[in-house]
Structure 1
Amino acid sequence: MGVEIERKFLVDETKLPTLNNGYTIKQGYIQTVDQTTVRIRIRDTEAFLTIKGKSEGATRLEFEYPIPLNDAQEMLTNLCHASLVEKTRYLVAHEGHTWEVDIFEGSNQGLLIAEIELESEEEVFSLPEWTAKEVTEDVRYFNANLVENPYTSW
């Protein structure tokens, strides 16, 4: 069984180091029920189907599978509702962990989020100086919700 334990933080852009080697992500969501999500993601030239369960704190079930790029493009166009989430992701090493820093584009322009995946909810980690407020449990910052209620409309 796949489990994701992830914490999310807003980013203070003024303290962020120079970011290198980012990759583009375009993703959409297929409508579901009961707080599960089905995500279609294109990362540069690779594509994935991801199914996520309901969040319980920072933990939820997650299953991800590679799919053909053409299938993903077709699904984004024809099966995903609302708009797409578009962002550039950078991997930033900090004290033994890899942080994913997402700089959003399009209707979520101006939003910067840093995420860290953990082995357990109790795992100890240090916050980089460029992290700001924690938003792990604030549903407005879930990517699946950003398609329905984009950051620029807040």
Structure 2
Amino acid sequence: MATEIERKFLISDATWRNQTHASRHYEQGYLCGRGPASIRARIDGDSARLNIKAAEIGTTRAEYDYEIPLADARHMIDHMCVASPVKKIRYWVEHAGHIWEIDEFAGDNAPLIVAEIELDDADEAFDKPDWLGTEVTDDERYYNHALALAPYATWR
């Protein structure tokens, strides 16, 4: 079983943009509502994946990830999702030996920006960049599955 160990943070300012070394557009659709797991199809350029994550809030959770045909993912997103797809640009920033993934959301989740760091251990120490804001790891609203079902624009 694969395990994801991840922490999520809001961004305090835009200085991270000067430190990016890559970016990609993602579109992902969720195939089920709330339950014991989130199941999504994700399109990343000309590749696609099916991803299953335990619906647990916090730093550590089970995760399974499989490559699937692009046409299958496109059909799932267009015809089988329980909500509108989540669209975002993911940026990568290296800082103090770790790679940060920064998601800038589009559509009904704009202007939300969330930074994530994947760790080898839940208690692993890491240096926080100056542009990092409030930690939201334990706030389920910031999980992509939750953003599909209740977009950021509806929070106000």
Instruction: Note the residue ranges of structure 1 that are not aligned, 5 or more in a row.
Output: none
* Amino acid of the structure 2 residue aligned with 1:99: W
- Once the two structures are superposed, what CA deviation does each residue of 1:9-37 show, in whole Å capped at 9, x if it has no partner? 00123332323531000001011563311
* Amino acid of the structure 2 residue aligned with 1:25: Y
- SS of the residue corresponding to residue 40 of structure 2 reads strand
Match of 2:50 in 1: 49
Task: Please give the alpha-carbon distance, in whole angstroms, between the structure 1 residues aligned to 2:9 and 2:57.
Answer: 17
Match of 2:132 in 1: 131
Task: Please give the alpha-carbon distance, in whole angstroms, between the structure 1 residues aligned to 2:68 and 2:17.
Answer: 34
Task: Please give the alpha-carbon distance, in whole angstroms, between the structure 2 residues aligned to 1:145 and 1:29.
Answer: 10
Match of 2:99 in 1: 98
Structure 1 residue 45, shift from structure 2 partner: 1.3
Q: TM-score, normalised by structure 2?
A: 0.93
- SS of the residue corresponding to residue 16 of structure 1 reads helix
**Which region of structure 1 is more displaced relative to structure 2, 119-128 or 29-38?**
29-38
Count how many residue pairs are aligned between Structure 1 and Structure 2. Answer: 154
> Alignment identity in percent?
44
Query: In the alignment, does 2:88 pair up with 1:78?
Result: no
Which 4+ runs in 1 deviate beyond 4 A?
Answer: none
Task: Please give the alpha-carbon distance, in whole angstroms, between the structure 2 residues aligned to 1:64 and 1:74.
Answer: 18
Match of 1:2 in 2: 2
CA RMSD, Structure 1 to Structure 2 (Å): 1.3
Q: TM-score, normalised by structure 1?
A: 0.95
Task: Please give the alpha-carbon distance, in whole angstroms, between the structure 2 residues aligned to 1:134 and 1:56.
Answer: 13
Match of 2:38 in 1: 37
